[in-house]
Amino acid sequence: MADSKASENKAKIDIKNINVFYGEKQVIKDISLTIKEKIVTAFIGPSGCGKSSFLRLVNRMNDYIHNFRKEGDVLIDGKDIYAKEVKVEELRQEVGMVFQKPNPFPKSIYENVAFGLKIKGVTKRQILDEAVETSLRQAVLWEEVKEDLYKSALELSGGQQQRLCIARALAVEPSILLMDEPASALDPISTAKIEELIFKLKEKYTILIVTHNMHQAGRVSDRTAFLHLGKLVEYGKTKNIFTSPKQDLTEQYITGRFG
Amino acid sequence: MNKVQFNRLKDHLFQYFGVACTLFGIILLAIFIGSILKKGLAGIDFDFLSSLPSRKAEKAGILTAWTGTLWIFGLTALFSIPLGVATGIYLQEYSKQNWFTSLLEINISNLAGVPSIIYGILGLEIFVRTLHFGGSLLSGALTLSLLVLPIIIVATREALRAVPDTIRQAAYGLGATQWQTTWHQVLPAASGGVITGIILALSRAIGETAPLIVIGALAYVPFVPKRPLDEFTVLPLQIFNWISRPQHGFIVNAAAGIIILLLITFLLNGIAAFLRYRWQKKVNW
């Protein structure tokens, strides 16, 4: 865990007094925090504590939930992403997302990775070919699929599909990557591969990862935020959170007394 | 006999019952096709396919009828496919779900059950008279398009509904607009169901007779239609006309006509099923 490097990095995402409501129900209560660039920030907490909703604020995927309402600000590089002038499609090309269950398109491996670029308007075959290879290499999947790029993505194993989804997200060259429990549907070996991958990726990308698995958070992240019932209980260096937590609630969660 | 044996017996009985029902349908179809072939195969020759109808049974051919059927097929496809699929996409992916859209959904399903002759009367008033298209291919195709539109709309909606939402989420997450998501990912994934709906719709259209009679398709058309505003006849209508003639020669012609109609239907369905297979292979659902 490169903690020392993390302290020097500048702020990438600023969350200021965020409250999130789905209709009458309030799922996030007055959370403020700053996420530094090019480190891995993990969000842990029991089910229903608002981690996924929080993550989805950053790429505005909550917009699709019809009774979603938010108060407060989310700033990326100092700019409010909910401002009227913001084109949400461009935001999502800056902020990529990997979902809990691998969801490749029912198309070939090549088509999956190239899709993000094609909708940006890239048509030249050579550019697409290079981008597909680069992304698949970054996702540590290239060697396994380079002979069969036109095979259907659905024929890959679960772990490979998830790495494909990561490659797909990386192809549009975002600066931030949101990962919502990316390994929870996978076997231990695939999980290990994904964690290694995350470790490599943080040299280039700012990564936010939601995880149910505390040990995973401990392994891959530089900073950890512990959420409970929509509130931010504690946020700090991962090492400190897990070895000397400041809040009682944090300690109880870490030691498995609830959640 | 104990309970397990009894359940196994029920299982086997049902299997036999299922096979029997299937065979029943196949045998009936075989009998029908066999008797038609017997009556009409002799009558099929190049002259038959390339001749205009005539008052003399030996000279009569189905040229105008099968060209009319193909025209109708083409024009109906041209009008109903884009309109039906686009409506289905709009209703399923874009419009908000409220009481109005529910009402719309119920009405569209109901329209699919309206007797076809009513569409004929509608077509007569709107296309033939008000728009002055006359008893032409255009009127016929527009009328049939209205008839089959609900089939395509409902099939499209069902097919789109079956596409998992995770696909849309993935596309939005990459920065796609709703249209890009629908056009590049959702619709291709739904293509199997959409094409099935189109096949069903067009098969229905080329077999329809009543609405075309109402809008003025003629039973005796001694010329080949060349433009959409030309008058026309179609195979079912020609067959119907021949069956009502007393001379035996016309019975042979009618049976021959039925064989041709069946061949066209099987051919069209076969092409569409093949297209569906190829498209689905690409989508790899």
CB of A21 within 8 A of CB of A48? no
Q: How far is A106 from chain B (nearest CA, A)?
A: 5
| Confidence (pLDDT) at B165 | 93
Res. A1: pLDDT tops 60: no
**pLDDT 10s digits, A144-202:** 999 999 999 999 999 999 999 999 999 999 999 999 999 888 888 889 989 999 989 98
Take residue B70 and report the two structure tokens written for it: 């193909």
Burial of B277 (0-12, 13-18, 19+ CB in 10 A): exposed
- Residues near B43 by beta carbon (within 8 Å), at least 6 away in sequence: B252, B253, B255, B256
The stretch B215-230 carries a mean pLDDT of 82
- Which is nearest to A58 in space by CA: A26, A82, A41, A31? A82
Take residue B58 and report the two structure tokens written for it: 């030996």
**How does DSSP assign A109-121, residue by residue?**
HHHHHHHHHHHHT
CB atoms within 10 A of CB A90: 11
Take residue A69 and report the two structure tokens written for it: 């309402």
Take residue A68 and report the two structure tokens written for it: 């979603």
Give percent above pLDDT 90 in chain A. Answer: 74
Cβ separation of A106 and B170 shorter than 8 Å?
Answer: no
DSSP state for residue B231 in the 8-state scheme: B
Enumerate the residues of chain A whose CB falls inside 8 A of the CB of residue B173.
59, 61, 92, 96-97, 99, 169
Q: Is A52 on the interface with B (CB under 8 A)?
A: no
Burial of B120 (0-12, 13-18, 19+ CB in 10 A): buried
Q: Which of residues 180-219 of B touch A (CB under 8 A)?
A: 180, 184-185, 188-189
| Confidence (pLDDT) at B163 | 93
**pLDDT 10s digits, A215-258:** 889 899 999 999 999 999 999 999 999 999 999 989 998 888 87
Q: Is A101 on the interface with B (CB under 8 A)?
A: yes
Q: Is A185 on the interface with B (CB under 8 A)?
A: no
β-pair type (A40-44, A68-76): unpaired
- Which is nearest to B128 in space by CA: B67, B205, B218, B66? B218
The stretch B208-228 carries a mean pLDDT of 85
Cβ separation of A103 and B184 shorter than 8 Å?
Answer: no
Give percent above pLDDT 70 in chain B. Answer: 97
Burial of B82 (0-12, 13-18, 19+ CB in 10 A): exposed
- Residues near B272 by beta carbon (within 8 Å), at least 6 away in sequence: B195, B198, B199, B202
Grade residue B79 by pLDDT with cuts at 50, 70 and 90: very high
Res. B17: pLDDT tops 90: yes
Give percent above pLDDT 90 in chain B. Answer: 49
Enumerate the residues of chain B whose CB falls inside 8 A of the CB of residue A118.
184
| Confidence (pLDDT) at A144 | 93
The stretch B259-275 carries a mean pLDDT of 83
Phi (first) and psi of residue A6, to 5 degrees: -60, -35
Res. B285: pLDDT tops 50: no
The stretch A9-25 carries a mean pLDDT of 89
| Confidence (pLDDT) at A2 | 45
Cβ separation of A115 and B171 shorter than 8 Å?
Answer: yes
Own/partner pairs for B243-249, CB < 8 Å, 24+ apart? B245/B57, B247/B57, B248/B57, B249/B56, B249/B57, B249/B58, B249/B60
The whole-model pTM stands at: 0.84
Q: How far is A123 from chain B (nearest CA, A)?
A: 15
Distance of CA B285 to the CA centre of its chain: 25
Cβ separation of B175 and A172 shorter than 8 Å?
Answer: yes
Cβ separation of A119 and B185 shorter than 8 Å?
Answer: no
| Confidence (pLDDT) at B98 | 87
Res. B276: pLDDT tops 80: no
Give percent above pLDDT 70 in chain A. Answer: 97
Take residue A114 and report the two structure tokens written for it: 């190239």
**ipTM of predicted complex:** 0.91
